[in-house]
Amino acid sequence: MNDVSLRLTGITKSYNAGTAAAVDVLRGVDVSLTKGEVVALVAPSGAGKSTLLHIAGLLDTPDAGTVEIGGTDVTGAPDRRRTLVRRDEVGFVYQFHHLLPEFSAQENIVLPQLAAGVARRDADARAKELLGIVGIAARADHRPAALSGGEQQRVAFCRALANRPSVLLADEPTGNLDPATSDTVFDALMTLVRETGLSALIATHNMELAAKMDRQLRLDQGVLSPA
């Protein structure tokens, strides 16, 4: 039980239920991530992977089913509790980096730690450590506009892991990069995930990247099955 970081059970989600425009996006999704496990989420466009990641990360609620993070069912928890669990336990990475443009790479990784109550000196040390793991320690003082797309995305990975979450949720984390850059940046993400020992659910269209993960799941017709 304790070695499960994330467990989704019987998740269903429909949009516009009861109308002619009804879409049953998730029809009973079950998935568990053990500690340190990295799972690929492969899905055709529109199959519902963003919906699933948002539910797993407590940004959205399912119509039915449960979401457990770190062994605790947080499906029906009050908003304040869900916000805290999201802040402390979940890291997000998107296709676009969403870094704050007026702050340096280092500051972008430090700020969420300060917001979580970490002391400045510890936050700085953590940011440096993470930037070192993804190979861009020398870029720490650059603002996002002075970084390449691949470097920006590496910073976004570090920011997502800054507060030591137990689960990383990534939605096409290298989907915005050219194929060669995508490969090396993805490898940096895998190094980061492995070194920090967290669990990850990573959506990708790229089967070569999916093959680098521990397990591959396909989301199709609202259910997950081995890819």
- At 208, is the secondary structure helix, strand, or coil? helix
Burial call 162-192: b when 16+ CB within 10 Å, e when fewer: bbebbbbbbbbbbbbbeeebbbebbebbbeb
> Do residues 125 and 72 touch, judged by C-beta distance below 8 A?
no
| Number of residues engaging ligand ATP in binding (CB under 6 A) | 12
Give the nearer residue to ligand ATP in terms of CB position, either 2 or 225: 225
CB of 48 to ligand ATP, least distance (A): 4
Residues in 146-175 at the binding interface with ligand ATP, rule: CB under 6 A: none
d(CA 107, CA 116): 14
For the record, the structure tokens of 53 come out as 């990641």
Give the nearer residue to ligand ATP in terms of CB position, either 50 or 66: 50
CB of 131 to ligand ATP, least distance (A): 29
Q: Which of 4, 23, 137, 223 binds ligand ATP (CB under 6 A)?
A: 23
18 binds ligand ATP (CB under 6 A): no
Give the nearer residue to ligand ATP in terms of CB position, either 45 or 225: 45
Contact range with ligand ATP by CB under 6 A, out of 4-12, 15-23, 137-145, 182-190: 15-23
Give the nearer residue to ligand ATP in terms of CB position, either 4 or 23: 23
CB of 64 to ligand ATP, least distance (A): 17
Binding string, 41-70, against ligand ATP, x = CB under 6 A? --x-xxxxxxx-------------------
> Do residues 100 and 145 touch, judged by C-beta distance below 8 A?
no
Give the nearer residue to ligand ATP in terms of CB position, either 114 or 227: 227
Four-CA torsion 116, 1, 54, 75, nearest 10 degrees: -90
d(CA 130, CA 192): 8
> Do residues 33 and 4 touch, judged by C-beta distance below 8 A?
yes
> Do residues 171 and 203 touch, judged by C-beta distance below 8 A?
yes
Give the nearer residue to ligand ATP in terms of CB position, either 97 or 126: 97
Q: Which of 3, 15, 71, 100 binds ligand ATP (CB under 6 A)?
A: 15
130 Cβ contact partners less than 8 Å away, ≥ 6 residues apart: 109, 157, 158, 161, 162, 192
Q: Which of 6, 8, 11, 25 binds ligand ATP (CB under 6 A)?
A: 25
Query: What residues are paired with 91 via a beta bridge?
Result: 168
Give the nearer residue to ligand ATP in terms of CB position, either 21 or 138: 21
Instruction: Give the residues lining the site for ligand ATP (CB under 6 A).
Output: 15-16, 23, 25, 43, 45-51
